[in-house]
Amino acid sequence: FLMLSFLLKKLLYKKKQISKSKVKILKIQKKENMEPMQRAPQGGYPPQANPGYAYQTPGYGAPGGYMPQPGKIKAAETTQQLLDKLHDVFVVQEAEYGEAIVQATLGFCEFENTYQVYKINKMNPGDVAPKKKRKIFVAKEKSTCCQRNCCSNACKSMKLIIEAKLYDGMGGTIRKPVFEVEKEYTCTYMCCNRPRANVWYIEDGRRELLGTLSNPCTLCSLQVETTESAAGNHEPGFNLDGSCCQCAILCCALPCGPCKEINIPIKKHGEEVGMFKRVWSKFFKEILTKSDNYLAYFPSEANWQQKALLVSSLIFMDYMYFEKKKCGRCQLAYSRFELNLQNNLSQQ
């Protein structure tokens, strides 16, 4: 009962924060609309300047009327330009507290996942988790309720739409789908019929295959292999290869010490060239939900297609290894809580 009441308070607090942010945005827009804007004269003659003042007309030149000053506008960018400038990203899986409430009452429930990708400054692998700087991608899962709750992550079919948030060159941003990760249903059992996913580039009506993600059968490692298909040739790309013998996997994730993070190296021809890290998030997010935070250090030689494959492979690895249930002592405590709750409901 205490857990349910806490989750309800958390949801109400989140809605309250969202409503406050909306009111703040409306106030800012109203203030901007009330500010006087200088407009060009209709007669075609130059404007008369007051004595002693240098007359300036900032923002003129747009055929439709007023345009903001060029110095305050971000230049328009494409997805390729955005990815070429990326060095490190911070991936946040949205916490579904409603899913935790339903799981606590019914024992099972899976909602569609949403991932937010943030651009951060250049960092070293030894630094702590960074502050979020600018949201550049939003990845949303598209699947049916039956697939999420009745099939394992290795078997179920899934589609992930990745939308980019780009500057439009007019002082605003546009959001449009640019990548699609598509995984078909597979009857996977141990080393037979391992799961695979295709990554498509779908910006502005295109549909070009960037590469393929696959999850091989391993005994003591977390692996995702990529195959690049952007140039028409199917060549091996970067691979994710992390060990299962880590404290955060065998025991439980903690906010300090070796249990704080899970290291997953990015390798090329057997050599480590980058790093993925599953890092500690907020306390209640770790205990009550299956949502995770990731920090990615891209290889310096990776192009924009390879970076898109790496972001997709990170989310694909989260589905394969970290999405279904927590392991270790956290899962044991969660199972005991479910069992005690079911017994109390049956006695009532």
List, for residues 37-85, the tens digit of each pLDDT value.
Answer: 444 444 454 554 444 434 343 443 444 444 555 555 677 788 999 999 8
pLDDT of residue 201: 94
pLDDT of residue 1: 57
* pLDDT-flagged residues of the chain (< 50): 36-43, 45, 48-66, 325-347
> What percent of the chain lies above the pLDDT cut of 90?
31
Q: Per residue, what are the HEC states of the chain?
A: CHHHHHHHHHHHHHHHHHHHHHHHHHHHHHHHHHCCCCCCCCCCCCCCCCCCCCCCCCCCCECCECCCCHHHCCCCCCHHHHHHCCCEEEEEECCCHHHHHHHHHHCCCCCCCEEEEEECCCCCCCCCCCCCCEEEEEEEEECCHHHHHHCCCCCCCEEEEEEEEEECCCCCEEEEEEEEEEECCCCCECCECCCEEEEEECHHHCCEEEEEEECCCCCCEEEEEEEECCCCCCEEEEEEEEECCCHHHHCCCCCCHHHHCEEEEEEECCEEEEEEEEECCCHHHHHHCCCCEEEEECCCCCCHHHHHHHHHHHHHHHHHHHCCCCCCHHHHHHHHHHHHHHHHHHHC
CB contact at 8 A, 250 and 258? no
pTM of this prediction exceeds 0.85: no
**Long-range contacts of residues 269-278, Cβ cutoff 8 Å, at least 24 apart:** 273/238, 273/299, 273/300, 273/301, 274/238, 274/298, 274/299, 274/302, 274/310, 275/125, 276/240, 276/242, 276/314, 276/317, 277/125, 278/248, 278/322
Nearest to 115 by CA among 265, 290, 321: 290
Residue 226's Cβ-side half-sphere holds a number of Cα atoms within 13 Å equal to 30
Beta bridge partners of 212: 198, 227
Nearest to 151 by CA among 124, 123, 176, 186: 186
pLDDT per position as a tens digit, 90-122: 999 888 777 777 777 776 778 889 999 998 865
Please tell me the distance from the alpha carbon of residue 291 to that of residue 285, in angstroms, as a whole number. 7
pLDDT of residue 342: 43
**Long-range contacts of residues 51-56, Cβ cutoff 8 Å, at least 24 apart:** none
Task: Report CA-CA distances (Å) from 324 to 20, 152, 250.
Answer: 34, 8, 16
pLDDT of residue 208: 92
Could you report how far apart the first and last alpha carbons of the chain are, in Å?
A: 14
Please tell me the distance from the alpha carbon of residue 180 to that of residue 174, in angstroms, as a whole number. 18
Please tell me the distance from the alpha carbon of residue 67 to that of residue 267, in angstroms, as a whole number. 48
Nearest to 40 by CA among 23, 67, 65: 65
